[in-house]
Structure 1
Amino acid sequence: MTWTAPEVTRTTGPLTGNERETLAGFLAFYRTTLLQKCANLTGAQLAEQTVEPSNLTLLGLIRHMAKVERIWFREALAGLTLPPMYDAEKGKDADFEDLSPDRAPDDYARLVEEIRLADETAAGMSLDTTFTRRGSVYSLRTVHVHMIAEYARHIGHADLLRERLDGTTGA
């Protein structure tokens, strides 16, 4: 049986509420939107390059966002030292370039798990919690805003990639 990315119900955030609820709600919305863009596609479809000459694929975006979730929440915010998610010898873009359709179920599950771990890491912290990364001081608030922007940018890419794959648009 061929694996396909599961159906996802997109989370909708509050249109009113405090700052924490709004930031967490919009981040959840964008996270589930990316997963929704991948729903019902096989590993081969997720790994297909559809917009030449770009090497972007939906699977590459899944892998990239898993790495970004890990870096900002668990490594930077929580201060954990974790091994590289992808083969460091293949360069900083291995998340986009070292793809295997056969690993798509694992890559997808990794993103879902990194999202869970990111939420778990941030749950007990104030938005004013700070940490230093590469000589700059950041707050958890800034991480939320950065992650919302990162997802929003890549969902635009995902829209184009998905449309080229099977004509699916919108939502």
Structure 2
Amino acid sequence: MVGMIWTAPPPPPFGGSLVASERTLLEGFLDWQRAVLVGKCTGLTGEQLAARGVPPSTISLLGLLRHVTDVEREWFQHRVQKLPVVYSYKRPDARDAAFDEADPDRAERDYDRLLAEWQASRAAVADMPLDFAFEDDLRGPMSLRAVYLHLIQEYARHNGHADILREQIDGRTG
């Protein structure tokens, strides 16, 4: 509709048993961290999401959404699957493009792109065992299990940033 201002929706449903297989637990905890991040964005406009909260840093909630979109692609498709990937926001000529070029007018597209990337990540490793091992250029041999743990840690770290950014926008905490 013309004149409607997009606001970030609530996170997709997540949850599950805490008495489950290791795979189910790892997937569930990663989904929980994913939902926490987009939950910090719920109800905010593109302008609010793109607001830089900690000068001189260019960090913003929208920048975080854009950053983890490329992190998902990097780990589940490029590193694990060894697929050539085209990043959405990462470029050799602009190391922090995910943050520096966050555009409030593209917030809805960027939000949707992240949710689509979650689906692509799930599909990329759905049939792989946690013990699947690959050679990582920086870390040497790694398992898919370690990738899940790394991504849980990555989101948790950025969720701390998101807490501070959201509190600066409208005082919401928790």
- Both structures adopt the same fold (TM-score exceeding 0.5): yes
Question: For 1:126-169, what per-residue CA distance to the aligned partner results, in whole angstroms no more than 9, with x for missing partners?
Answer: 00111222151211100000000000000000000001001111
Return the alpha-carbon distance in structure 1 between the equivalents of residues 78 and 51 of structure 2.
30
Which of 152-161 and 15-24 deviates more? 15-24
Distance 1:13 1:132, change over 3 A: same
Structure 1: distance between partners of 2:38 and 2:93:
26
Q: CA deviation at 1:35?
A: 0.8
Correspondence for 1:142 = 146
Pair 1:75–1:87, CA change in 2 (3 A): closer
Task: Return 5+ residue gaps in structure 1 as ranges.
Answer: none
Q: Kindly indicate whether residue 156 of structure 2 is the aligned counterpart of residue 157 of structure 1.
A: no
Measured after TM superposition, the shift of residue 84 of structure 1 is: 2.8
The alignment's TM-score, normalised by the length of structure 1, stands at: 0.93
Q: Residues of 2 paired with 1:22 and 1:144: CA distance?
A: 10
CA distance in 2, matches of 1:151, 1:14: 20
Q: RMSD of the TM alignment (CA)?
A: 1.4
- Contact 2:67-2:89 at 8 Å conserved across structures: no
**Please, which of 90, 96, 121 is the counterpart of residue 118 of structure 1?**
121
The residue aligned with 1:28 is 31
Q: Report if the CA contact (8 A) 2:49-2:60 is conserved.
A: yes
Unaligned regions of 5+ residues in structure 2, if any? none
Contact 2:12 2:35 in 1 (8 A): yes
How far 1:5 sits from its partner (Å)?
Answer: 0.7
Report the residue type matching 2:149 in the other structure: V
Structure 2 CA distance for aligned equivalents of residues 124 and 105 of structure 1: 31
Q: Check the 8 A contact 1:13/1:29 in 2, yes or no.
A: no
TM-score by length of 2: 0.92
Contact conserved, 1:33 with 1:155, CA < 8 A, in 2? yes
Identify if the C-alpha distance between structure 1 residues 57 and 24 changes in structure 2 by more than 3 Å, giving closer, same or farther: same
Percent sequence identity is 46
Q: Which amino acid aligns with 1:98?
A: E
Cα deviation code 1:30-53 (max 9, x no counterpart): 001111110111111000012223
- Write out per-residue CA displacement over residues 48-102 of structure 1, whole angstroms, 9 at most, x where no aligned residue: 0122232210000000000000000011111210123226254221111111111
Higher helix proportion (structure 1 or 2): 1
| 2-structure distance, mates of 1:99, 1:137 | 34
Q: Displacement, 1:12?
A: 2.5
Q: Aligned to 1:38, what secondary structure does the other structure show?
A: coil
Q: Does 1:74 align with 2:77?
A: yes
Q: Distance in 2 between matches of 1:20 and 1:89?
A: 34
